[in-house]
Chain A
Amino acid sequence: MPSLPHHENPTPRHSLRNQILEDRPVNQDGFVQEWPEVGMVAMDSEFDPRPSIRIENGRVAEMDGRERADFDFLDQFIADHAIDVDAAERAMALGPGTVARMLVDPNVTRDEVLRTARGLTPAALLETVRRMNIVEIMMGMQKMRARRTPANQAHCTSARDNPLQVAMEAAEASLRGFSELETTLGVVRYAPLVAIALQVGGQVGRGGRLTQCALEEATELDLGMRGITAYAETISVYGTESVFVDGDDTPWSKAFLAAAYASRGIKMRFTSGTGSEVQMGNAEGRSMLYLEIRCILVTKGAGVQGLQNGSISCIGVPGAVPSGIRAVAAENMIASMLDLECASGNDQSFSHSPMRRTSRLMPQIMAGTDFVCSGYSATPNYDNMFAGSNVDAEDYDDWNAIQRDYQIDGGLQHVGEAEILAARSRAGHALQAVFAHLGLPPITDREIETAVYAHGSNDLLPRDVLEDLKGAQSVTDRGVTGLDLVKALHEGGFADVADHLLTVLRQRVSGDLLQTSAILDDNLEPLSAVNDANDYTGPGTGYRPSGERWERMKRLRHVTSAENPELEVS
């Protein structure tokens, strides 16, 4: 081989174009090589088990090459509670190629896929999606999503844990279309006040938004039982026994917690996602997606209606390896093909690149999922106490334009400023009334006025944090419940908000929010996979934005009038 010409100057000269590319935001993202031996690989690893099943005496005797005697506790839980032994032999005999085609083929109904999927082992599910490219995965998602109508979820948080800000963000988010609102805290002791604020703000205007506060599990359950929150989401499951055990948990303890919520009619879902096990150094040499499939099956086996997945807080890990974002889309689709509600991620800061951020959304927003984001930051990201989301309050207009461009429903809509200011103001005054009724530190009119017009917590009047924390403690000590909030709202002159909250609370008596993928519709009636089942069977079928909804989606901040091009309509 001829040697390369030797340059006298050892410092290489760079082109201007190279410098431009070097400085692009995408090059601030982290990318790493695969290392399958330790699980640093998205979904293509020779160390993953191969599909197999043997049923003896009505139970799984061998699964994915492992005898029952050698099962770890995840294998055991999945074999005994997630896999339908009556469906298993037929489903496994179809082979992954056939199942993959069933997912894509519009002539095969959702129900047919469900009947097959319930008999598949983790390795068989993995082999199935390994055959599918991203468009095929999106086609599968479009058909398999549980609820016909897609929806969205917002994060409403404050870097200062300011309850007033959270109430206003909740009211604005509700107006913009989010069906679920989630909060969490910087200072955990603030939780009761912030959860109350979220609950009150979410009932302003149309109301009926379901709220939750992400906390340590026992506190989260307590707030739910007292009716200060309406659902729970941050119940984490993991794909290896060692990570589960590190968290002092087992699939059975998580199933017990799920039952506690169900006993009170409270909606809940589990959380999992690719990358968590390898991040913690305990992937046991399996690919990220294989381990995530075990999480999805544990969720199924625990009898929980839904799952938040899509890597979630570990998105930087699959995001850094080849085919990682395809694996993340696949994990969403697998949750759906196992008939679980899927809150599909897009909830954590993912990339410095605006193009990559958008591309990350596409599989979920285009195919439609039960919740496209399992939190869209309703605040600017600096206020996002979930460590930043992939989309935030500064992206609303972009989101609405994308919905309009493709006629796809990501759950949001453009709302004029006057309407937003009115809702924020009303939420502020409603919370002021609730705080006054409960004897909590007062909220002043000046605080409300400032917060109505604010963008984020940097623009707010600071609160007396120590007094607020005492108030928060008293809420816990006195055992304040959702009904106390209803009374406070009613007596404070907010009868409509009180009525909405009471309607939300009454759902736990009927148990309708325990149905798969339940939200409340415009009339505060439950909309779930039971009364709004996904009926996609090919072109022209399934959910398509139409009628009033599509007209609403056509509106943007600036649209030139066709009638008089010198005017704008919005």
Chain B
Amino acid sequence: MATTTAPGIELREIGRAGHGTRPDEVVLALSPGFAGFFTRTITDIPHAQVVRQILAGIEEQGGQARVIRLHATADLAAVAHTAARLSGSGIGIGVLSRGTSMIHQKDLPRLSSLELFPQSPLMTPEVFRAIGRNAAQYAKGESPQPVPTLNDQMARPRWQAKAALLHLKECELLVKGAPATEVEPVIDDPA
């Protein structure tokens, strides 16, 4: 089992990821290069911040968080849906290294979702925290207001090609058929 690090965070893989049983559980699934090959999102939010904010958001709502890492896919829908399927509540969050995120529910079709955040350059620590909060509320059976999605016409010229590069790089890290692993995050992020 590997341990990967990025500034302020260590992800210790402790075994194969299993099904949770707690009804208030939210599973956070990270993509293969998260806090390892990559250390921050496309707009330089440290991965330590991303995990910390999401976990804090879940905690705020009294939810139980569990973190896993995927190795065989960097497809956001697949990452988030895997999290949902392994989650005791059926609610999961998927996050790619560049910051693109999704809240998923295990009974939805894979290409559908509860909330999708497709534009990685527009993600902020506040949005990550709100994602954690909303996911925990879905886990409790509530219907939160979706996190407002942002739009920016100039995101394309600034970020489209870099997003493609980041995606291609993350795809290079894929290990065919490798199962998801349970991760113990150790966060040392002062923020």
Contacts and interface: CB of A to CB of B under 8 A. Distances in A.
Contact of A382 (B153, B160, B167): B153
Contact of A315 (B156, B163, B164): B156
Most buried by B among A28, A38, A275, A313: A38
Interface in A288-319: 313-317, 319
Contacts of A313: 156
A387 B162 CA distance: 18
B164 A319 contact: no
Interface stretch (A343-351, A397-405, A506-514): A343-351
Contacts of B163: 279
Contacts of B161: 30-32, 40, 316-317, 319-321
B165 interface: yes
A350 B164 contact: no
Contact of B165 (A32, A351, A384): A32
B190 interface: no
Given A30-B161, A314-B160, A317-B164, A388 B171 contact: no
B156 A388 contact: yes
A35 B153 contact: no
A176 interface: no
A351 B157 CA distance: 5
A321 B165 CA distance: 11
B176 interface: no
A28 B154 CA distance: 9
A67 interface: no
B158 A352 contact: yes
Contacts of B165: 32, 35, 40
B38 interface: no
A387 B154 CA distance: 9
A462 to B, nearest CB: 18
A281 B167 contact: yes
Nearest to A29: B157
B98 to A, nearest CB: 12
A165 interface: no
A319 B171 contact: no
A242 B19 CA distance: 32
A281 B168 contact: yes
B181 to A, nearest CB: 23
Interface residues of A, number: 30
Interface range on chain B (Cβ under 8 Å from partner) = 10 to 19
Given A30-B161, A32-B162, A349 B153 contact: yes
Contacts of B159: 30, 316
Nearest to B172: A38
Of B156, B163, B165, B168, which is in contact with the most chain A CB atoms at under 10 Å from its CB? Answer: B156
Nearest to A351: B157
Contact of A349 (B156, B164, B167): B156
A93 B151 CA distance: 51
A534 interface: no
A137 B157 CA distance: 24
A204 B99 CA distance: 47
Given A32-B161, A316-B159, A352 B154 contact: yes
Interface string A245-276: 00000000000000000000000000000010
Contacts of A351: 157
A149 interface: no
Interface in A348-365: 348-352
A517 interface: no
Given A30-B157, A316-B157, A35 B168 contact: yes
A298 B77 CA distance: 29
Interface string B117-161: 000000000000000000000000000000000010110111111
A349 B162 contact: no
B168 A278 contact: yes
Interface centre among B162, B163, B165 (most CB of A within 10 A): B165
A157 interface: no
Interface string B29-49: 000000000000000000000
> Most chain-A Cβ atoms within 10 A of its Cβ — which of B160, B163, B164, B165?
B164
B187 to A, nearest CB: 30
B153 A320 contact: no
B158 A28 contact: yes
Given A316-B159, A352-B158, A278 B164 contact: yes
Contacts of B154: 28, 349, 352, 388
Contacts of B162: 30, 32, 320
Given A38-B168, A278-B164, A319 B153 contact: no
A278 B164 CA distance: 7
Interface of A: 28-32, 35, 38, 40, 275, 278-279, 281, 313-317, 319-321, 348-352, 381-382, 384, 387-388
26 contacts: A29-B158, A30-B160, A30-B161, A30-B162, A31-B161, A40-B165, A278-B164, A279-B163, A281-B171, A313-B156, A314-B160, A315-B156, A315-B160, A317-B160, A319-B157, A320-B160, A321-B161, A349-B156, A350-B157, A351-B157, A352-B154, A352-B158, A387-B153, A388-B153, A388-B154, A388-B156
- Nearest first, the 5 A-B pairs at minimum CB distance are A316-B160, A388-B153, A320-B161, A316-B156, A349-B153
